[in-house]
Amino acid sequence: MSPSAPTSAPPSTEPALLCRGLTKRYGSVVAVDGLDLEVGTGECFGLLGPNGAGKTTTVEILEGLLVPDAGEVRVLGQRWGGGGDRDLRQRLGIQLQETQLQEKLSVEETVRLFRSFYRRGPTPLEVIRSVSLEEKRRSWVGKLSGGQKQRLSVACALVNDPDVLFLDEPTTGLDPQSRRQLWELIEAFRRRGGTVMLTTHYMEEAQRLCDRVAIVDHGKIIALDTPAELIASLGGEHVVEFSVADGLDPEPLAGLPGVSSVHREPRGYALGVREPHVAIPALLAELERQKATLSQLTTHNATLEDVFVSLTGRTLRDA
Amino acid sequence: MPEPGLFERSPLWQLTWARTLAFLREPDALFWVFAFPVLMALALGIAFRNPGAQKSHVGVEAGPRAAATMRALEAAPDLEIALLPADEAAAALRRGRISVLVRTADKGGPVLVYDPSRPETRLAHLATVEALERAAGRVDPLPLRTDTIVRPGSRYIDFLIPGLIGLNLLGTGMWGIGFPIVMARQLKLLKRLIATPMRRSHYLLAFMLARMLWLVLEVATIMIFARVAFGIVVRGSWAGFVVVCVVGALSFSAMGLLVACRARTVEAAMGLMNAAMLPMWLLSGVFFSADRFPGVMQPFIRALPLTAANDALRALTNEGAGFAGVIPAVLLLVAWGVGCFGVGLRLFRWD
């Protein structure tokens, strides 16, 4: 029993994944710095952050592949290294970021191999069908496209019909169509009640798939909420970005009607805006008053990317 | 859902089968394991075949009494004679095209020029002396009769085939185990596998079992070829032969495991493999007898697993040794195998 759980809670509310004060160092580099998180059963939880933020390290600790330097980890209520590791692994589905499967085995041979490690689960053919690779089942892994390889990798994680599915940047480097196919796979897994732990540096992926998102930077969670709430925390659902050719006094911007936040960006400003139709005329009038020449103005619906920028002052790509 | 078969459910079988398939689908590996030893045996067998009694090559330098000398030498059946101008004769001797050069003079007997440090030139020298003396009217003080026999298993190819089997056991064990393990580590496949409930011992055991499957094919290929092409058969204990092959293969596989236990890249592993194999290639009596090395090196050479395997296979094939005769060699191989496996397993890096 975790001490923080309320005594009246039914057992099913025990988190599927839990870590407290997780810390991992590589030499003098702190990869994970006192990280806490809790993922409920049936939830899809996203770790979002730039490369090197500590996402993979966190996930690999949860998967029992790395040992943390400090902190507590519970997976389905169990600790790693307590003698029940192999039983726990029976219930997990894991896809690693960099794994390359044996090139000269066919899709079916690969899935059958992975299936043999587990006591229960669908047949190899059912798994292959679920990731839409039945036409490729006799093809060698080396002959598959990037998207097909990634689906095979997810298939290997689904052979035991796991309770928790870990996906580490499953769509990195894939074309949009392959990405959408993978998203559908993940959504189908969730409909069966599975718990998903996902890392990504794609905002739209986190927004589409995740119930809650933790934004990770330098090994710490700097924000954690539903995608909608995180976006709402910007103070507006729209973002107006602009730059001016010459200097500008940003002080009055915050007071403009409809503007709820102001962020300095490398090449201008980003305003969090509730009502663009009110805020944009007011902005133009203010620029006119300051005799500033507008060199660029764009507007878009706020995304998690804007949340990251507002929290760190960096874009995900520069970070 | 149909109940999956036993093979389908057994991780050990699936791992072994996957290993075997991956091997069979690697044309390079197939070449080195199956074609290479056969080609090697064929090439060396032809180069060093015994064409009955070997002839010695003798040159006669053009000169005053060259013609008479030529006639005297031609009477000897073991000599191949050539008449050469002076400048060419020197070059032929230098290059080893002739073993002895006979230089005639107007007065006195001919001068025989040869290099006494090599056995075949000394042989040519003796035959030349005898031919010249007989032509000059030598009478044998003691009439000797000879009775020749050809001992089975005494040809070079007889020596070579067991050595090639030993070499193959070494090469396949090291490459067949070490290379795929390092490759799997480099591609993070090892890490992916330990994220499953797979037993780690099953993974390593599967390599050994797959090794046993193709060991049969590999040794059978060489032995059948040796039988058909050169009439070589195992004269001693077949059981001993099988045991030496199996124990040798496992022992060298364990060496492959040790070499691969930590290397993160294929390049690093290749360096280690060559460092481990090269001394045995040279010292363990594959192509020539290990006895040719000086006595101080012998204890070291005798301790090498390939020396033990080669000597045991030779004793069984050519000398008709029984099972008991190869027990010391088998024990040495077992010691190497257990030692390498134990250390390799202890140091093994999965990520």
Confidence of residue A7 (pLDDT cuts 50, 70, 90): very low
Q: A116 to chain B: which residues are within 8 Å by CB?
A: 8-11, 13-15
Of A65, A112, A122, nearest to B195 by CB-CB distance is A65
Cβ–Cβ below 8 Å for B195 and A92: yes
Q: What is the pLDDT of residue B311?
A: 94
CB neighbourhood size of B249 (10 A): 27
Residue range of the domain that includes B117: 56-135
- Judged by a CB distance cut-off of 8 A, whether residue B264 touches chain A is no
- Whether residue B294 is predicted with pLDDT greater than 70 in this model: the reply is yes
* Domain co-membership, B305 together with B322: yes
Of B10, B189, B199, nearest to A99 by CB-CB distance is B189
Is residue B317 within 8 A of residue B161, CB to CB? The reply is yes
* Domain co-membership, B83 together with B169: no
Confidence of residue A11 (pLDDT cuts 50, 70, 90): very low
Q: How far is B275 from chain A (nearest CA, A)?
A: 28
Average pLDDT over residues A93-112: 94
List beta partners, residue A260. none
Predicted structure pTM score? 0.79
Q: B266 to chain A: which residues are within 8 Å by CB?
A: none
Is residue A128 within 8 A of residue A137, CB to CB? The reply is yes
Q: φ and ψ at A171, to 5 degrees?
A: -115, 5
**Which of 155-184 (B) contact A at CB < 8 A?**
184
- Whether residue A303 is predicted with pLDDT greater than 70 in this model: the reply is yes
* Domain co-membership, B30 together with B66: no
* Domain co-membership, B91 together with B193: no
- Judged by a CB distance cut-off of 8 A, whether residue B197 touches chain A is yes
Of B1, B11, B21, nearest to A117 by CB-CB distance is B11
* pLDDT tens digits for range B38-86: 898 888 888 776 655 678 889 998 888 888 888 888 888 888 888 889 8
Q: What is the pLDDT of residue A1?
A: 40
DSSP reduced 3-state for B57: strand
* pLDDT tens digits for range A127-147: 999 999 999 999 999 999 999
Average pLDDT, chain A: 88
Specify the residue for token string 């003080």.
B141
Compare all CA atoms of chain B with the CA of A158 and give the residue at the minimum distance: B196
* Domain co-membership, B115 together with B177: no
Cβ-based burial of A306 (10 A; exposed 0-12, middle 13-18, buried ≥19): buried
Q: Which long-range contacts (CB under 8 A, 24 or more apart) does B321-324 make?
A: B321/B236, B321/B237, B321/B240, B322/B236, B322/B237, B322/B240, B323/B237, B323/B239, B323/B240, B323/B243
* Domain co-membership, B263 together with B244: yes
- Whether residue A13 is predicted with pLDDT greater than 70 in this model: the reply is no
Compare all CA atoms of chain B with the CA of A85 and give the residue at the minimum distance: B197
* Domain co-membership, B94 together with B197: no
Residue to test with chain A: of B192, B198, B349, most A Cβ within 10 A: B192
The residue type at A307: V
* Domain co-membership, B38 together with B113: no
| Structural domain contains residue B146 | no
Domain CATH code at residue B62: 3.40.190.10
| Structural domain contains residue B143 | no
Cβ–Cβ below 8 Å for A94 and B196: yes
Q: What is the pLDDT of residue A9?
A: 41
Q: B21 to chain A: which residues are within 8 Å by CB?
A: 104-105, 109
Q: How far is B249 from chain A (nearest CA, A)?
A: 24
* Domain co-membership, B85 together with B209: no
Q: B18 to chain A: which residues are within 8 Å by CB?
A: 102, 105, 109-110, 113
Q: What is the pLDDT of residue B4?
A: 58
Lowest mean pLDDT among A266-270, B123-127, B165-169: A266-270
Q: How far is B225 from chain A (nearest CA, A)?
A: 30
Of B17, B189, B351, nearest to A101 by CB-CB distance is B189
- Whether residue B134 is predicted with pLDDT greater than 90 in this model: the reply is no
Cβ–Cβ below 8 Å for A123 and B1: yes
| Structural domain contains residue B278 | yes
* pLDDT tens digits for range B5-43: 777 789 999 999 999 999 889 888 888 888 888 898 888
Number of domains in chain B: 2
* pLDDT tens digits for range B161-182: 999 999 999 998 888 899 999 9
* Domain co-membership, B181 together with B91: no
* pLDDT tens digits for range B269-278: 999 999 999 9
Nearest to A42 by CA among A212, A160, A159: A212
- Judged by a CB distance cut-off of 8 A, whether residue B198 touches chain A is yes
* Domain co-membership, B60 together with B44: no
- Cβ neighbours for B72, distance < 8 A, ≥ 6 positions apart: B131, B132, B134, B135, B136
* Domain co-membership, B25 together with B96: no
Q: What is the pLDDT of residue A5?
A: 41
Cβ-based burial of A180 (10 A; exposed 0-12, middle 13-18, buried ≥19): middle
